[in-house]
Amino acid sequence: MSAAAPALKTPPAPAVMTGARLLVSSLERMGVEVVFGYPGGAIMPIYDALTGSSLKHILVRHEQAAAFAADAYARLSGRVGVCMATSGPGATNLITGIANAMMDSAPMVCITGNVPQGVMGTDAFQEIDILGVTLPIVKHSILVRDAAEIPAAIEQAFHIAASGRPGPVLVDLPKDVQFAETVAPFGFNIPNETIEADADAIAEAERFIRAAERPLIYIGGGVKIGRATEALRAFAETTGIPAVATLNALGTVPTDAPGFLGMLGMHGTRAANEAVQASDLLIVMGARFDDRATGKLAEFAPHARVVHFDADASEIGKLRETHVAVGGEIRPAIEALTTRMAAAPLTIDPWVIRCASAAARHAARYDAPGEGVYAPALLKQLSEMAGDRFVAACDVGQHQMWAAQHCRFARPEAHITSGGLGAMGFGLPAGLGAQMADPDAIVVTIAGDGGFMMNVQELATLRRYGVPLKIVLLDNSSLGLVRQWQELFFAENYSEIDLSDNPDFVKVAEAFGVEAFRIDRRDQVEAGLARLLAAKGACLAHVVIDPKENVWPLVPPGKSNAEMMEGA
Amino acid sequence: MSMSDTIHIQIDRADGSLQRLIGLVERRGFHIDGMSMAPDSEVEGAMRRIALTVRGRDAARSIDTLGRQIDRLIGVARIQAQTFQSEAA
């Protein structure tokens, strides 16, 4: 499975050009339209070559934002996101974004300048061994030592980033390589290998499913990544098997689809977690048994056998014994399974009814008392008002969990979140990247007051390029998720979570030239959301919420998913 | 009783490839008890052969999973693995 292989443009006739110019031509040839980056000494030849190219370079205000934006661009468009930075601090500032793309399998190519090869290893000014530093957090990395190798290196980088289980690829270019003049051939083509699903394994999967009384589909991010959303929906509809989703898979089945029980795990729904615990067969589709999804692994789905579909063979059996493994591309594998399942219906009505009644019994309520803004209700309403073009770009914290629990997602691309890494500061640059990927989408950054400040400088980027991103800033004047854990698990010892001296966020946004207004009370929410969504340009709604509000339900860390806590 | 495995690997000479392999093995929870490396006499050019003797830090570490994680690396090919059991603690 792979993100779309970019259409290769006709190779230009070989001509003498610098490595920097060759790099830019190579990116153009890969079909790259947008690059997020920040210049500096060791990448100056490339920035020199950028002028006059067809690439649209978005100058962010911090390299971390370039990586986050490229990641979100990739997640929404399905194409490889590209970011670039200079050596040393520029490169190290990319690191959190590279790790984020690695953890959530986003296809990204990161281009870094480096000091000339002659001084590499001498602690030269702004020299960092970025290839070495990033080894554990990249899918692959390439140090290009000869300008003539640039076209091949770029093609290889894009291929690796997008194929199989996608991920970030770093291409490091010493400055002398950027300056070097060369005649380089284009047309280095990598064969598109696809791994066929094993027909015997699919037949075996069918046998397990037909033998099960309480089968459950456990959907992971690999379904969306493998462009298998429609295939998965057809499988769920054909079989009628109930489904749960991980954080990164929300929207793969529409939130309100029959049989969908919601997110599983730490902040999942009670119906989803109960179904997992009762299930006798988990049909795992592109998921990796992350601890936030499983809770205490030894007690996760204790009665279930496991059928696991995954493009990454190393995920099979990594954390949980697998009875049937289906490797290779996930979309044809699911389609083949659906064809087999269509031959005869399952007889699982009691189980389906049991799951549906649990979902109805535990449905979220939005009738919290009081005049204050109830964030879960606001987020649900936001997604309903924005409709099918809605894309949420979430930061990390309580608001992220509320968005996952309460927003309506019509497609998996509608929910962009830092799942595996949980990187605060993701929301604003992710919104920028997503809006650049789809100017017609209604992209809304949902952030808390903590994470928003980690990349607040990107308001300037919105202003500069006229990016019409909407921002819902849920301000509880604290680091809410940490505060919640201190309340519940650290005897209410509130340590370093108070942010009550936050700046005036409306003034901050206005100082950057971004329209902003404040929502303090529940009766202002509907009009406020309407104003936000109607704004022509970027707009920020500063929403003041109760600092004591918690995310419920909750599985305490290290506990079984059977032990969900509810709020008062 | 501890279990050790020797994994035979073919690896290219690209920048960082050795670090990438060793880093993966240690990061995924294995001790490296022995290692030898030599140019690959059967292949022209820039390939090397490495034999790594590894031992999981705890019982949960699976040599099969490690092998598949090595397979995922670019420029690295796993040739074969042998498992040895010893009575040594």
pLDDT at A15 over 70: yes
What's the token pair of residue A262?
């919601």
- Residue in B closest to A153 by C-alpha: B14
How far is it, in rounded angstroms, from Cα A374 to Cα A377?
Answer: 6
Percent of all residues in chain A with a pLDDT value above 90, rounded to a whole number: 93
How confident is the model at residue A13, as a pLDDT?
61
10 Å Cβ neighbour count for A533? 17
Cβ–Cβ below 8 Å for A318 and B65: yes
* CA proximity to A368, closest of A522, A480, A524, A479: A522
CATH number for the segment(s) A375-544: 3.40.50.970
ipTM confidence score: 0.88
CA distances from B82 to A11, A67, A544, B32, B60 (A): 47, 41, 61, 15, 19
3-state secondary structure A261-277: EEECCCCCCHHHHHHHH
- Residue in B closest to A163 by C-alpha: B72
Amino acid identity, residue A544? V
CATH number at residue B64: 3.30.70.260
What's the token pair of residue A399?
């608001």
Predicted confidence band of residue A320 (pLDDT cuts 50, 70, 90): very high
- Asked if A10 reaches chain B (Cβ–Cβ under 8 Å), the answer is no
- Is-contact A154 A170, C-beta < 8 A? no
* CA proximity to A84, closest of A102, A52, A58: A58
- Asked if A140 reaches chain B (Cβ–Cβ under 8 Å), the answer is yes
**Domain extent at residue B72:** 2-86
- The minimal CB distance from A131 to the residues B15, B24, B72 is found for B15
How far is it, in rounded angstroms, from Cα A228 to Cα B12?
Answer: 34
DSSP per residue, A509-547: HHHTT-EEEEE-BGGGHHHHHHHHHH-SS-EEEEEEB-T
CA distances from A507 to A285, A541, A546 (A): 46, 12, 21
How far is it, in rounded angstroms, from Cα A226 to Cα A105?
Answer: 11
Buried b (16+ CB within 10 A) or exposed e, A458-484: bbbbbeeeebbbbbbbbbbbbbbbbbb
Cα-to-chain-centroid distance, residue A498: 28
SS3 label, residue B82: strand
Predicted confidence band of residue A1 (pLDDT cuts 50, 70, 90): very low
What's the token pair of residue A411?
């497609």
Owner of token pair 């990438």: B20
- pLDDT tens-place string over residues B9-56: 999 989 999 999 999 999 999 999 999 999 887 776 678 999 999 999
How far is it, in rounded angstroms, from Cα A53 to Cα A58?
Answer: 13
- Asked if A131 reaches chain B (Cβ–Cβ under 8 Å), the answer is yes
- Asked if A314 reaches chain B (Cβ–Cβ under 8 Å), the answer is yes
* B3 vs A351, higher pLDDT: A351
pLDDT at A568 over 90: no
A-chain CB neighbours of B65 within 8 Å are 314, 317-318
Least confidently predicted of A223-232, A456-465, B57-66: B57-66
Query: Is the CATH number 3.40.50.1220 carried by domain A199-361?
Result: yes
- Are the folds of A16-183 and A199-361 the same? yes
B-chain CB neighbours of A142 within 8 Å are 14-15
Cβ–Cβ below 8 Å for B62 and A143: no
The secondary structure element, H or E, covering residue A20 is: helix A19-29
* CA proximity to B11, closest of B28, B30, B36: B36
What's the token pair of residue A560?
């079984």
How confident is the model at residue B89, as a pLDDT?
34
Backbone angles phi, psi at A401, to 5 degrees: -70, -40
Average pLDDT, rounded, for chain A: 95
If you average pLDDT over residues A260-277, what whole number do you get?
A: 97
B-chain CB neighbours of A135 within 8 Å are 16, 19-20, 23
SS3 label, residue A496: coil
The sign one gets for the Cα dihedral A108, A386, A444, A222 is negative
CA distances from A514 to A467, A476, A532, A545, B37 (A): 10, 22, 12, 22, 59
To 10 degrees, what angle do helices A63-77 and A95-103 make?
20
How confident is the model at residue A189, as a pLDDT?
63
CA distances from A30 to A44, A155, A180, A296 (A): 22, 7, 22, 44
- Asked if A244 reaches chain B (Cβ–Cβ under 8 Å), the answer is no
B-chain CB neighbours of A131 within 8 Å are 15-16
Per-domain residue ranges for chain A? 16-183, 199-361, 375-544
B-chain CB neighbours of A143 within 8 Å are 14-16
pLDDT at A7 over 90: no
How confident is the model at residue A109, as a pLDDT?
98
- Asked if A316 reaches chain B (Cβ–Cβ under 8 Å), the answer is yes
Owner of token pair 């109960």: A274
Q: How far apart are the first and last CA of chain A?
A: 45
How far is it, in rounded angstroms, from Cα B64 to Cα B61?
Answer: 9
How confident is the model at residue A187, as a pLDDT?
63
Predicted confidence band of residue A196 (pLDDT cuts 50, 70, 90): confident
DSSP one-letter code for A555: P
Predicted confidence band of residue A11 (pLDDT cuts 50, 70, 90): low
SS3 label, residue A340: helix
Predicted confidence band of residue B88 (pLDDT cuts 50, 70, 90): very low
Chain A nearest-CA distance from B40, in A, is 22
Q: Write down the architecture of domain A16-183 according to CATH.
A: 3-Layer(aba) Sandwich (3.40)
Percent of all residues in chain A with a pLDDT value above 70, rounded to a whole number: 96
How many structural domains are present in chain B?
1
A-chain CB neighbours of B76 within 8 Å are none
How confident is the model at residue B46, as a pLDDT?
77
Cβ–Cβ below 8 Å for B69 and A140: no
pLDDT at A79 over 70: yes
Backbone angles phi, psi at A327, to 5 degrees: -95, -170
Tell me the Cα Rg of chain B: 13
DSSP per residue, B6-33: EEEEEEE--TTHHHHHHHHHHHTTEEEE
pLDDT at A203 over 50: yes
DSSP per residue, A126-186: T---HHHHTGGG-SEEEE--SGGGHHHHHHHHHHHHHBSS--EEEEEEEHHHHH-EEE---
Least confidently predicted of A162-176, A193-207, A426-440, A451-465: A193-207
If you average pLDDT over residues A439-445, what whole number do you get?
A: 98
- The minimal CB distance from B23 to the residues A136, A142, A313 is found for A136
Buried b (16+ CB within 10 A) or exposed e, A146-167: ebebbbbbbbbbbbbbbbbbbb
Highest mean pLDDT among A234-238, A325-329, A564-568: A234-238
- pLDDT tens-place string over residues A95-130: 999 999 999 999 999 999 999 999 999 999 999 999
> Who's near A237: CB < 8 A, 6+ residues apart?
none
How confident is the model at residue B87, as a pLDDT?
43
Which stretches does DSSP call E strand in A11-95?
A: 16-18, 34-37, 56-59, 81-85
What's the token pair of residue A152?
């091949």
**Strand order in A470-475's β-sheet?**
A415-416, A390-394, A442-448, A470-475, A539-544, A515-519
What's the token pair of residue A15?
């001509």
